[in-house]
Amino acid sequence: DLDGDPREARIRQAALITDAELRATFADQIHWQDVCLWSRREGRVLTRRQEVFGALVLEDRTWPDAPADAVAVAMLDGVRQLGLKPGKAATLFLARARLMPAPFPDFSEAHLMETLDDWLLPHLTDVRSTGDWKGFDITPALKARLTWEQQQELDRNAPAHFETPLGRRVAIDYSGEQPGISLRLQEMFGVTRHPTVGGQPLQVTLLSPAQRPVQVTMDIPGFWASSYADVRKDMRGRYPRHPWPEDPTVADPTLRAKPRGT
């Protein structure tokens, strides 16, 4: 016996009914359902098989063999709550991709979150919890959004690495306002044209033999012709075993030091 507004109904009278009576009386309204959903409280995907009568759960069991696609869809709800949280590799890739002008694919966070079903869902088959998500590298899923031609375009205009005159690959840092690299000053000997990315000059941080910055420049030829002389004067006394030629434009790049005692 109920009274009041249905949203705030109050039970005045009730009668006890056993489980057997409930099942016999409402057999046609009792059924099993599979539940696969993201639990914010537990931080994981829950997979359950439940026997229900309306909103009442009569029996609740684990569902160990839930289909991978159903788990992935539930995990996608978790990603929407947790956010993308890209790791180091994905952060570098996103920084590069976001430098590319239209009509290159949109890699803004807003667009990526809006299109999770399209690019991320197929990659979530082994991800079921907050811990799994924290350790998951989204880089392959991000790269899969690009055609082969677009990947080549990205590598040309926003490469991940700069190859030094010695053939060493140095990671380009895209986290600042200007893409940049850091490397030993001696490794740039002989360079007479400033390195560029996408037609724009790289910010080059030149390091001492102790890996400390001695110059930040967007103009290597200008540095050789001007303040290099002062840097050379200071560094020769501190690091006498390392080469400090008067004319660095004709010197060979090197990472070697003179043997001790020479």
pLDDT at 23: 75
Two tokens at 209? 């033999």
Same domain, 153 and 62: yes
Model confidence at 27: pLDDT above 80: no
Percentage with pLDDT > 90 across the chain? 71
Record the pTM: 0.75
pLDDT at 15: 77
Same domain, 149 and 164: no
119, 135, 158 - which closes a domain: 158
- Spacing of C-alpha 30 from chain mean position: 46
> What would the pLDDT profile of 68-105 be if each residue is shown by its tens digit?
999 999 999 999 999 999 999 999 999 999 999 889 99
Tell me the residue range of the domain where 70 lies: 32-158
Residue with structure tokens 């009792």?
30
Q: What is the DSSP track for 84-116?
A: ----HHHHHHHHHHTTSPTTSPP--HHHHHHTH
The total domain count for the chain is 2
> What would the pLDDT profile of 115-165 be if each residue is shown by its tens digit?
999 999 999 988 999 999 999 999 999 999 999 999 999 999 999 999 999
Same domain, 111 and 174: no
Peptide bond into 86 cis (omega under 30): no
95, 125, 158 - which closes a domain: 158
Same domain, 68 and 98: yes
Same domain, 62 and 146: yes
Two tokens at 228? 């290099």
Instruction: Look at the alpha carbons of 140, 134, 108, 121 in this order and tell me if their dihedral is positive or negative.
Output: positive
Residue with structure tokens 């639990």?
39
Same domain, 105 and 38: yes
The reply to whether 37 falls in a domain is yes
Of residues 232, 185, 192, the one with CA closest to residue 211: 185
Same domain, 237 and 173: yes
> What would the pLDDT profile of 49-61 be if each residue is shown by its tens digit?
877 788 887 777 7
Q: Which stretches of 63-195 are assigned E, i.e. beta strand?
A: 161-163, 169-171, 180-184
DSSP3 helix / strand / coil % (the chain, rounded to 5): 35, 20, 40
